[in-house]
Amino acid sequence: MEGSRWTRRGFLKTSIAAAGAAPYVIPSGALGNDTIPPPSERITLGHIGVGGRGTALQKEFQDLAEAQSVAVCDPFKDRREERAAAIDSAYAEDRSRGSYKGCAIYNDFRELLARDDIDAVVVATPDHWHVPIALEAARAGKDMYVEKPLGVSLAQDFALRRAIHRYSRVFQYGTQQRSSKYFHMACELVRNHRVGELKSIDVWCAAGGCGGSVDPIEVPEGFDYNLWLGPAPESPYTSDRCLARGGYWISDYSLGFIAGWGVHPLDIAQWGMDADGTGPIRVETVGIIPSDGLYDTISTWDARCWYRNGVEIHFMSEDLARPIVEKYRVHHDHGTTFLGTEGWISVDRGGIHADPSTLLDAEVGPEGFHLTKSKNHRKNFLEAVRSRGETISPIESAVRVDTLSHLCNMSARLGRPIRWDPDREAPIGDSDAERMMARPMRSPWTV
């Protein structure tokens, strides 16, 4: 498919030149130079969701010469227009050739996906839109970089995994710590038994919140609120529903930080224990669910996940974890510590520590086990788009780590442990948990 894609674009470029027209304006400087590949060799990107995280990702992709952002989409009119203007300005400055206007603007993501000249999309919307948009992208023949967490139900996760395989799409999950030096180092050392036999893993992340205004107000001008809601239940607009933490801490749109933040250190736990293709057999969570205000995702939790190999993950919100993890010399409010028979290795975004410290001294030789290495998560995705190979955070690992968050959420809400079959990917003897694996979607949206 890769060969046919670039051949088709070359044909289109020739045909457009002959016809004296172009789908968007490209200045002469965009034809390529010693550092900037010509358009036919760049991967064209559409950015769906350009709020805080979406804008950050767009800027990071823009720094990579092999990619070009050609479209943005967001139901907030001011966001999409500001981002498109910034993209055009940045490309004009990079090319040093005057003005540039090549970034298209969309309110509805389906119009963006309908463009044949877009190779891949970056999905950085509120959580409840991640899978529905990614599914449409797969069906439209687009590769995708999808922010975490994945779906708001396990049924959504499984549907996306099937679609990625069916349509042979390249998928990169936004668990960018796999492309960070110290996280890679920690996992590789654990996989090479530097801590001896792995016994348990401590995982912690930022806690959620409570509150949020429930008072209805007018929808702001220039905001397509109905499209923002999409598959979520119809609800009155309030000042906190779609801004600030609303999209993260309302259960109609998210599982909360137990998923959206927890996925980062949980992903490192799964990677370090070689569990990308499996999952726990039992999960038990105690959590606090706010009862007042708009925010109703689990705000504080203490979860334990047991695996067939005897390893236990202890997953806590940071407020509960702090007294336990201080001994790991942590620098950040989320991290992962691997504890074995010969010591421990702890890693967070502030660095890596071990006890004994000599565990970090010995390099893994050529005879040892080596994890796939990536120095840049976005570049790793673009390389996979070209090669049609697998990214460092593929769909299988995304579904498996997302499953942990869902099981923790189920256990806390049901008030009991969940037994889980990681082969069948289904609860054992628990009809209530089975029902929680899917959730209704507002018409006309489906998976």
Instruction: Give the per-residue pLDDT at 101.
Output: 73
Tokens of 78: 């001011």
Q: How far apart (Å, rounded) are the C-alpha atoms in residues 185 and 428?
A: 36
pTM of the prediction? 0.91
Q: How far apart (Å, rounded) are the C-alpha atoms in residues 72 and 70?
A: 7
Domain residues of the chain, as ranges? 2-177, 178-367+395-435
Neighbours of 263 (CB within 10 A): 28
Which residue carries 């300005």 as its tokens? 89
Residue 185: in which H helix or E strand, if any? helix 181-191
Residue 406, SS3 per DSSP: helix
Low-confidence ranges of the chain (pLDDT < 70): 1-40, 95-99
Query: For domain 178-367+395-435, is the CATH number 3.40.50.10190?
Result: no
Query: For domain 2-177, is the CATH number 3.40.50.720?
Result: yes
Contact 190, 273 (CB under 8 A): yes
- Main-chain phi, psi angles of 45, to 5 degrees: -120, 140
What Cα–Cα distance (Å) separates residue 296 from each residue in 83, 99, 136, 256, 388?
32, 47, 29, 8, 41
Residue closest to 172 by CA, chosen among 151, 213, 144, 150: 144
